[in-house]
Amino acid sequence: MLKLDRESRGERHENHLPTDVLIRVAEHSDQGSNSYPFASRRQVAERLRTDRAFLLQAVRIMCERNAARIEGASGVTGWGSSDARKVEGPAKRLLEGSASEEDFAVLICVVPRYSRPIAAELRTEAMRDDVRLQAVAKRFGVQTPEGQTTNEASEDAAESVSPLEAAINGFLVAQGKARSGEIVAALQMERQPVVDCLRRMTDQGRLRRTGQGGGTYYEIPV
């Protein structure tokens, strides 16, 4: 829920972005516009085709998920029925350390299809290793170890959102609405990249701009 604009009620407020978001902006600001701070599904799928150690990790993740689903765990997905038959032998041999080249060929073909649940498990592991990432995940709208719900749409959107866009969203959620100068000050960044991002987000309908001149405010549409 958005807060009411406190400035319109004559109250002063500090315009500082939470430290955890500033940390992620600083760490990822040099990685381009698609710098989602967790492994994306595409990155997972690409790495599965070239990194056998990562393939082993992913197969272990999927086998554990499959076992949990068979045992009746709620909301857990494993192998699809047809894929389960294909990977049963190759996965078993990979986990035992005796996989053949034919086994690897089967797994490299099948496992990338499950990049979404694998990415979700890796994201959860990353957040357990660094609790600061839990706050970042919430601002991206994806699942956290605390059990925040998520869906495919929010994950798809998160993977295409830059840290700067996420930081602006987080600030406006906290403040309700703000001028561009207030946002620049809160993010502690150069003005032009922030202004360009505000303009882009407004053009895409993800922000709403009201007022004119020095009285122009940005807010998240509701």
Q: Tell me: do 20 and 74 sit in the same domain.
A: no
Confidence of residue 196 (pLDDT cuts 50, 70, 90): very high
Mean pLDDT, rounded, for 182-201: 90
- What is the predicted pLDDT for the residue at 182? 93
- What is the predicted pLDDT for the residue at 91? 97
Residue 71 counted as domain residue: yes
Q: How does DSSP classify residue 189?
A: S
- What is the predicted pLDDT for the residue at 16? 41
**Alpha helices, DSSP H, located in 130-190:** 132-140, 152-159, 163-175, 180-187
Confidence of residue 9 (pLDDT cuts 50, 70, 90): very low
Does residue 210 carry a pLDDT above 70?
Answer: yes
Domain of 18 in residue numbering reads as 6-35+162-219
**Among 158, 186, 205, which residue terminates a domain?**
158
**Among 158, 187, 202, which residue terminates a domain?**
158
What is the CATH classification number for the domain harbouring 31? 1.10.10.10
Residue 136 counted as domain residue: yes
Are 182 and 189 contacting, i.e. CB atoms less than 8 angstroms apart?
no
Domain count, the chain: 2
The Cα–Cα gap between 194 and 206 comes to: 15
- What is the predicted pLDDT for the residue at 22? 45
Q: Which of 25-29, 129-133, 167-171 is least confident?
A: 25-29
Q: Hey, how many other C-beta atoms are within 10 angstroms of the C-beta on 124?
A: 18
Residue 1 counted as domain residue: no
Paired tokens of 144:
């956290």
Confidence of residue 94 (pLDDT cuts 50, 70, 90): very high
Mean pLDDT, rounded, for 179-183: 93
The Cα–Cα gap between 48 and 57 comes to: 10
- What is the predicted pLDDT for the residue at 86? 96
**Among 135, 158, 181, which residue terminates a domain?**
158
Q: Tell me: do 45 and 152 sit in the same domain.
A: yes
Are 25 and 187 contacting, i.e. CB atoms less than 8 angstroms apart?
yes
Which of residues 26 and 156 earns the better pLDDT score? 156
Mean pLDDT, rounded, for 149-154: 53
Task: Quickly list DSSP for 82-139.
Answer: HHHHHHHHHHHHHHHT---HHHHHHHHHHGGGGHHHHHHHHHHHHHHH-THHHHHHHH
Mean pLDDT, rounded, for 21-43: 55
The Cα–Cα gap between 161 and 136 comes to: 12
Q: Tell me: do 48 and 22 sit in the same domain.
A: no
Q: Tell me: do 170 and 149 sit in the same domain.
A: no
Mean pLDDT, rounded, for 141-148: 58
